[in-house]
Amino acid sequence: MFDFNELKKLIVPAQFGSDEYNEVTDSMQTVFEQLPLSVQTVWGATQFVIIDGANDKVAKIPFTGEFWEDDNEAIRFTPYRINYCDFTYKLYRQALDYDIIDIFAETEYFGTTANDVIILLQEKVIDYYDRKDCSPSTISEDSKNKYKSLKGERSSAWQMFPEDWVTAAIEWYGIDVVRNFFWFCDNNCLDDFHTGNIGWRKDGSPCVLDWAGFNE
């Protein structure tokens, strides 16, 4: 099993917010060259995820910015304005106050890399399209009818989610929790819940696994 403490030795290109990383030629690949071949990495727009098949958690580290090539073919680095893992964790903590925390994949602050970039650990969940790999859930007619009632409400967040995911959320957590979750999304301008950012736990309960969005 990969020891996530090894991630604290990583050097992520550029301190967060720095614009002094213009000499790099290998882009963010320099991070992945520091990881053992036994782990899988998944890239996103704002962070990369380190997955070890033997571990029930994954690690997330934010990209600190974006590399690009200028007209003279020189590699430049533009820092992101937002530390997306830091933003993720702050929202997760806020969700505790709204009694909606169960909808979010369990997330914890783990520490920082060697150059002070935040590391998060998050429970490993099943991809939305791999629902067959988790326990089946029976959805009641009552939950299906409550889903229909959401269409008449002012929140637009429910439109981002597939119907089967929302009805399962109503079945598992209740309509009030789901309604508060949608209000939380609207209030915090969380609007990037495509199917790659939602999933299922092994027991069949629906959850979101990435709520950072992208705003640069």
Over 50: is that where the pLDDT of 55 sits?
Answer: yes
Residue 157 reports pLDDT greater than 60: yes
- Backbone φ, ψ for residue 73 (5° rounding): 65, 25
Domain chopping of the chain, boundaries? 1-124, 125-216
Nearest to 157 by CA among 129, 127, 184, 139: 184
Confidence of residue 166 (pLDDT cuts 50, 70, 90): very high
Q: What is the pTM of this model?
A: 0.85
- Give the DSSP letter string of 40-95: EEEE-SSEEEEE-TT-SEEEEEE--EEEEE-TTS-EEEEE-SS-HHHHHHHHHHHH
- Res. 50: pLDDT tops 60: yes
| H-only helix segments in the chain | 29-32, 84-95, 141-150, 163-173, 175-187
pLDDT at 15 (0 to 100): 40
- Which pLDDT tens digit goes with each residue over 57-90? 999 988 877 777 778 877 677 778 888 999 999 9
The answer on pLDDT for 191 being more than 70 is yes
The span from the CA of 95 to the CA of 211, in Å, is 12
